Structure 1
Amino acid sequence: MEEKLSFTEAERQEIATLLEQLKEKVGCFLHQDDERNIRHQVLQSLEDGRIGRDVFHLNPILHSLQTAVIAIDEIGLKRDSVIAIMLYRSVLNGYTTQEDILDKYGAGVSDIINGIIRIQSLYEKTPTIESENFRNLLLSFAEDMRVILVMIADRVNLMRNLKCCPDAKARQKAAEEANYLYAPLAHKLGLYKLKSELEDLSLKYLEHDAYYHIKDKLNETKKQRDAYIQNFIVPIQEKLEAQGLKFHIKGRTKSIHSIWQKMKKQKCPFEGVYDLFAIRIILDSKPEREKMECWQVYSIITDMYQPNPKRLRDWLSVPKSNGYESLHITVLGPENKWVEVQIRTERMDDIAEHGLAAHWRYKGVKEGGGMDDWLASIRAAMEAGDDLEVMDFFRKSLKDEEIYVFTPKGDLFKLAAGSTVLDFAFCIHSKVGCHCTGAKVNGKVQNMRYELRSGDQVQIVTNVQQRPKREWLQIANTSRAKSKIRLALKETVVKEIAITKEMVERRLKNRKLDFDEATIQQLVKKLGLKEVAEFYRQVGEGILDMQEVIEKYALLKNPKPVQSSLAGDERIDPDHRSAADFKLTDEYITGAASNRSGIEGSRSDVLVIDQSQKGLDYTLASCCHPIYGDDVFGFVTVSGGIKIHRCDCPNAPELRRRFGYRIVDAQWSGKGCGQYAITLRVIGNDDIGIVSNITSVISKEERILMRSINIDSHDGLFAGTLVVNIDDTSRLEQLMKKLRVVKGVKQVSRV
């Protein structure tokens, strides 16, 4: 509270008037001691100085009485809700306990106050109130629907008195919440009058100039508008009566908020909103004559007034997917003004207003599952005038079907009831789920098995080393998370099999054995395995000994002894081995198998780069463009090929850190392997003839071909790139030295 409460004379008079109204409206519903207890509690709080004007500079007692009257007149709430409105601030501020409320006023009042306090706690999580999920969270969090109805009544009352608030930021926030949160909630519950009032009042503070512009325009033309509508309706009414039709006609003007939305959408001034007037003709027709009579009315109206064919909406022939049926036309009435006319029957109107095709549905507000039926039943009860104090009716029977949880930033996610931390992680993103190790739920560390509840604030904890495990399928409860886990497990197996297959192929090549899928299939059957994938898995995990596998493969491939192959190995010069004789390093082999024992390798094995070699798939990396003479290494790719990188390649540190087991020692063969494309960067003074001098040096060099040159100059300097074909690093160094001595050249470097 910001200011101690003192009553003005006007406030005293209004409070007295409101008290008399409340006694008259709910006096018969109050229990024997209710009035005495409330009066005692309020007076005691005043004497103790516990009640003061709030941030909006409003008198809390007067505000509560005004809210209670709105709740009774506009919504139909009774005793429990009125008492809760009067006392919830006392509990919220700690002046009264929940136990005291329960003891004096019963469970109904206590539950409503408890729901209001729970919802107030959601605001502390800084939610995105514009989201549909937050509105759904409120509905599910409140449990007792009267909590939401009380909050709507309270916000309507606040918006009516917001002009008294001296705090501009507080006014702005209250107006935004009214527009984005409370108006849609009122719309869903069929409280159209309150919904329209909330939208108009929020527009008053959010779009001040637009609101008063439209309001002034409407005030200026009210008499003429009412007269116009009557003038438009009368001749239609006479024609319809002459045809013997039973009907009634409603005329209305769009709300200020609706007009403003039209002006923005159509990008037109107030005068350009041609469907400012709307007429609804509702026929009392038998089911078998509905369509015929609707089209009969259409024919009568279009004979009288010129229709706009572009604005015809025929939901009679083909109803909307939500069941909405009606015929909308826009005609040019007297004075050349456009008027929208809606033609429907009593049955269609009832479906539109009370059924699944209610107005708030076909305007685009979407709900899912059982919440639609639940809201529709509450709404129908309010319009039927049922007793809203029946607790069982308002308690959401499907409240446990879904939950809503917050992220630390206030975003809301909808999950199925029973969802765990792991489910939420996969709901955010597959990568987050795959690396999930647990979470902080409401500030407390929880494991991934922890079951979430509505309103929880969840921060997922991840680790890049974490990988999905098969037991995660028992932790996850949602189908989305389970499918993502299965996919991740499948991808992991595929990668592991690909790496193991690479290793098997290389080891076979070391023994002068060609890799053959058909022979592998025979080997799999001989080992008693059902699938090739299982074979690679057992090799990778060390269950199958690699040496034994090779020997059995050799016997299947070539039943003759393989000593000749081994003898061939002995004749090879150990200092000059070809790529066909290449064997993977220990780092690569051990990285491919989780069980590192039983697989042998030699660090002395080196990949020799020779273009004349066959059966070895290697390419020169495009990131560093190695050429003959560069210090290089090989990197085994998943597809089975090898990329050759320079040792000083910018990507080399990351490749060694993340994929060290796939790094292969490599060297060039004893002779050159042709020409390579090299890019040189040259920087110097932008002198006349500098480019000619550079190209002249290159053209004089033997076995060097210039492929392209690109020069840019700025502020007396030039920077350019040269692409040349060259044999090896020695010729490259010679060329760079000659270019550096060209007059005006300041720097020559290899890209």
Structure 2
Amino acid sequence: MAEEKAAGEDGNASTTPETNKPTARSRQPIGFIRQVELVDRVKAYDPDADEDQLNRAYVYAMKAHGGQTRASGDPYFSHPLAVAAILTQLRADPATVVTALLHDVVEDTDATIDDIRRIFGDEIARLVDGVTKLSQIELRSEASKQAENFRKLVVAMADDVRVLLVKLADRLHNMRTLHYIPKAEKRQRIARETMEIYAPLAGRIGVHRIREELEDISFRELSNDVHATISERLADLQKHSVGSVVELANVLREQLTRHGLKAQITSREKRPYSIWRKMTQKNVSFDELADIYAFRVLVDTVDDCYAALGVIHTNWRMIPTEFDDYISAPKPNNYRSIHTAVIGPPSSSGQRQRIEIQIRTFEMHETAERGVAAHWQYKDPGDGDGRMVEIVARGQYDPYETPRRLVEMFQAGEDPDEALRYAKLELFQDQVFCFTPKSRVIALPKGSTPLDFAYAVHTDVGDQCIGAKINGVQRPLRTPLNTGDVVEVLRSENAPVPAEWESLAYTGKARSAIRRRIKKMQYNEHLALGRSIAESVFTGAHLEFSLKGVREGLKRLGKKTVEDVLVSIGRDDLAVNELVEAVYPGASLESRGEIRAASLREFRPRAAISGLTPGVTVKIARCCAPLPGERIVGIRQDNGGVKVHTIYCETLAQEDPPQDRWLDLKWREREEDATAFARITTTVRNGLGVLSEIAGVIARYGVSIANIRLQNRSEEFVDFILDVEVKDTRQFSQMLAGVRASPNVINAERTGGEDHDEL
């Protein structure tokens, strides 16, 4: 593949200075097998395989790649041949092996998908196309490129998991020849990507053989000194413990035979990376692990597995923290086995050894070695397009569970880089296995919470989650889950979504879904608030508010939809005055984005106030913004007009105008149409629905919002200014008391503003 050819396409150097490897031409290429041998391998496990198709694919790929060579100096055809050989070890179906032989011809030669379809049929063409498309992407940054490639890989493998099998075998062969790349930086980038993406994916579909080798080669490249040290210690341990291993195996076999159990017992090879990971996880030294012998016990039936476990635990003391039963609760990749550790019998030196033991059936062992490839068979040629169908051996195994979950995350509109981070989180973590009340097993990364559990069951369950019971007891949603927990999700159709819920979730799927819900609720909140503000302003200005009118003003506002306009007003990204002028050009245009009271309101102070000389211009002082019902005074201005203040106005007291300018004024008793403006500065908690809640409180008192403007927004609080239109001071006081009583309001005070004139 293009992004992976670093292991085979970086030139033709026959030696690598940093590793001083011998030239490739002096030896046979890694993984090279002859045509007859490849066909025989496939026929050995699938006698009905199309031998002619395999031969044609072999010859076609060899001719297509012609004289191309790899960085090692090997003929390029050795690479697809090695990939095919790896897949035969997994007993992959013939179509997958043919795809491996052809997987690079479309990208690196003149061959096309149509050529492949014409010669090899639709199924092979679809698989080759799926593998080829993974590398046909060029983005600006390496991080984005990796994220996008991973997204394409996930989508492709969700369509047919065989694409991933070919991809993993392709990566494995490239990693085996990684040392031929001269640039250390590039080798490390490839190794890191392999460790972070491809090895975990191999584990998730159960191909542990490939996963372990990918991890070990990557570890050697990324931490060569540590790998070398552990390898030396491991080799020394194995050299000096051969006798003990044989002795322990014989004792174990003897005990099982004595109880009528026929078992095959083998010692398990330890790899440096698995040793290092165990040392890191358990925070112990190599010496503390060195006395742990590892054996695998293979028996015929599940009953024999538990019988063998009983024999082992009866004869030797078990170590409780080392016991896991993956037969009763299989892993999502269908891995099934019993893991235990015991204090074994004394060796010839008299020292008792710790023994790690895996117990499984031969069938389980086949699945553990081959993963998803062990659960597929070829359809009858006359049964459709020849796609493979899943053989579900025991219950609920779904090889597509991981890709489906990851695809859902990518398709939810997440930023690719962020989705990649979440995907790595899910792939890397150890797992816990929890149960629904109906005993359905839900596998989650270690550290997951009931909120993650709810979204793993179904997105709708997560969206309706309001709490959870763990083992029958109600617990906080932040509670980490443990293997064996029975989780009951408490649900409500009107479940809230607190912003802090994202921090409670651990999995990428849950975080993505919560963020999506929060965005949707914020959008709806701003939409409702923007519409409420717009309707109040238009009504107060005696202008008709209609969606048709707003639609006609979209071009002037530079918006695409009516909803965009209303949401922008609700977010305070668009001043409501701009909407008024777009719908009714010339009606109002204030540089500050505020409503001009006298031009948009039927507020005539002279008609509502007694004691004024006819014809005098009246200005309502905004420093105190007197409301009908309050004690007021008038101050004559130099231009002959009158400014109206409350008798208690602090600004008036500071200015202290001469007594001959004072006028004794008062509001008329009843003025049905008279209204006035008041300004409120409010501090509220920053949360979903709070602004809509305040607008609702104000509306309940029959008060209209003239304008709203956000001042400051922090993580916890929001400060904003409200201009409201009220009939009198009584209505205002009641409304203000209602606002203050709202649980999300920290403070609400009446404040002044700019002066408004009567025209």
Pair member with larger Rg: 1
